[in-house]
Amino acid sequence: MLPTIFYIGLSVLLFVIGVCGVLLRRSTLMVFMSIELMLNSANLALVTFANQRQSIDAQIMVFFVITIAAAEVAVGLALLVMIFMRKKTTNIDTMTTLKG
Amino acid sequence: MELVIFVITAIVAIIGAIAMLTSRNAVHSALFLLLNFGAIAVLYLLLQAPFLFAVQLIVYAGAIIVLFLFVVMLLGAERDEEDANPIRWQAPVAITMAVLLIGEIIWVLVRQSQDSLARVGSSDSDFGSPAQIAQALFTTHLLPFEVASFVLLTALIGVVVLHQRQN
């Protein structure tokens, strides 16, 4: 049996590493991977609290988060392939089409 | 014993995450991310979530990482980035903000929640067993389950439509 704060601390660390990835990297693929890392760290916190309170609902929520993440990755990577075909680069600074 | 397993797994997870962040090659990044997902799956086992352990390995390690690797290799985009970073002050500001965020979250956790030091870990009860998850999933959470199936279907159709317009 370990203190809850160990798991939450690890989850926070992983989340912040993911935030750094989104802020620092210029490749869209890397930004995407960092977002996956952040989703995972949030899942870890949810599972920790599910165990602490012995309530199954948080585990169900993690299950749904994983489902939505799978859908999101499929659509996101399809969009990424489309953009790469047009612009021949994955650099996020070149994606300025929606700029007013 | 549990502490030893936790510490080793946590170190592996953090090393995987940092290596993902710093490696220049996108294929290496995806593989380090796989390492991180595996470590988190082990933590799920420690936290009495064997079903989520299996789902994590199958969906994240099995499907999502493979999809990432496929796309990276298909595009040949392994090294396509960061020659000239146009915003010079971005990196130091980002790291400062990240450290601030860590401090803030830890402060809130320690300060606000009295039970943040309560203990978690495995016990002998059958909490988190697939049977219990299925019971909750198909009774209380049946509507979200159906909605999730629609979301997956929509994603599937969306991907097909996107790639058809391309040709």
Query: Does the structure show a pLDDT above 90 at A91?
Result: no
Task: State residue A66's pLDDT score.
Answer: 93
Query: Does the structure show a pLDDT above 60 at B82?
Result: no
Whether the CB of B116 is below 8 Å from some CB of chain A: the reply is yes
Chain A nearest C-alpha distance from B32 (Å): 10
Whether the CB of B157 is below 8 Å from some CB of chain A: the reply is no
pLDDT tens by residue, A35-83: 999 999 999 999 998 888 888 889 999 999 999 999 999 999 998 888 8
Enter the tokens of residue B94.
């980002």
Topology of the domain comprising B1-81: Four Helix Bundle (Hemerythrin (Met), subunit A) (1.20.120)
Q: Which of B44, B81, B136 sits opposite A60 (nearest CB)?
A: B136
Tell me what the mean pLDDT of segment B66-84 comes to: 77
Q: Which of B72, B98, B110 sits opposite A16 (nearest CB)?
A: B98
Measured CA to CA, the distance from residue B141 to residue A39 in angstroms comes to 21
pLDDT tens by residue, B33-51: 999 999 999 999 988 888 9
Whether the CB of A43 is below 8 Å from some CB of chain B: the reply is yes
Average pLDDT value over all residues in chain A: 88
For A13-81, the DSSP string reads HHHHHHHHHHHH--BHHHHHHHHHHHHHHHHHHHHHHHHHHT-THHHHHHHHHHHHHHHHHHHHHHHHH
Query: Does the structure show a pLDDT above 80 at A1?
Result: no
**Domain containing A24 — which CATH number?**
1.10.287.3510
Residue carrying structure tokens 């690890």: A10
Whether the CB of A77 is below 8 Å from some CB of chain B: the reply is yes
A30: containing domain = 8-89
Q: Where are the domains of chain B?
A: 1-81, 130-167
Query: Does the structure show a pLDDT above 70 at A12?
Result: yes
The answer to whether residue A1 is domain-embedded is no
Give first-to-last CA distance, chain A, whole Å: 54
The pTM score is: 0.89
The answer to whether residue A24 is domain-embedded is yes
Question: Hey, are the CB atoms on A82 and B162 less than 8 Å from each other?
Answer: yes
Task: State residue B123's pLDDT score.
Answer: 67
- How many domains does chain A contain in total? 1
Please name which of A5, A32, A59, A91 lies closest in space to residue B86, comparing C-alpha atoms.
Answer: A91
The answer to whether residue A12 is domain-embedded is yes
pLDDT tens by residue, B104-162: 888 887 777 666 566 776 666 778 788 888 998 999 999 999 999 999 999 999 999 98
Percentage of chain A beyond pLDDT 70 is: 99
**DSSP 8-state symbol, B116:** G
- Between B86 and B81, where is the model more confident? B86
Whether the CB of A38 is below 8 Å from some CB of chain B: the reply is no
Percentage of chain A beyond pLDDT 90 is: 44
